[in-house]
């Protein structure tokens, strides 16, 4: 999980918590983490694991993918939002499995975009002489 912007992530979590009108205690209880730990995450002093991010997302009632993108674990998704939302919210999968499926989906999209780009004919200059 290299490259997590902990200060930006913490500010985002705090902002989401404020919008949900939750106290830090309420979110900590909902996410099943300690108050001090959540406080340290919000202040950018701790780098939470993907599992903890998933629990925080669940407590905030937002998709885990949203926090993963914010943390830099996943890149912003292009493609069908219904598919990514369905994968991210499937409670029968573990967070690791959801993350892996989202990464595979993104890889297929990138592969298809590259193939489509190769198939597109390059603009040619007109060589007709009048």
Using a cut of 0.75, tell me whether the model's pTM lies above it.
no
Q: Assign 2 a pLDDT band (cuts: 50, 70, 90).
A: very low
Half-sphere exposure of 49 (CA within 13 A, CB side): 6
Interval 10-52: pLDDT, tens? 999 999 999 989 999 999 999 999 999 999 999 989 888 888 8
- Residue ranges of domains in the chain, CATH in brackets: 6-119 (1.10.260.40)
């Amino acid at each position: 999980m290299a490259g997590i912007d902990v200060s930006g992530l913490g500010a985002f979590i705090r902002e989401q918590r404020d919008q949900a009108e939750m106290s830090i205690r309420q979110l900590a209880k909902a996410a099943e983490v300690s108050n001090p730990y959540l406080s340290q995450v919000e202040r950018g002093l701790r780098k939470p694991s993907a599992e903890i991010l998933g629990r925080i997302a669940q407590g905030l009632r937002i998709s885990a993918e949203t926090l993963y993108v914010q943390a830099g674990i996943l890149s912003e998704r292009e493609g069908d939002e219904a598919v990514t939302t369905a994968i991210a919210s499937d409670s029968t999968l573990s967070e690791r499995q959801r993350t892996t499926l989202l990464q595979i989906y993104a890889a297929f999209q990138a592969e298809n975009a590259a193939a489509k780009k190769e198939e597109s004919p390059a603009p040619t200059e007109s060589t007709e002489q009048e």
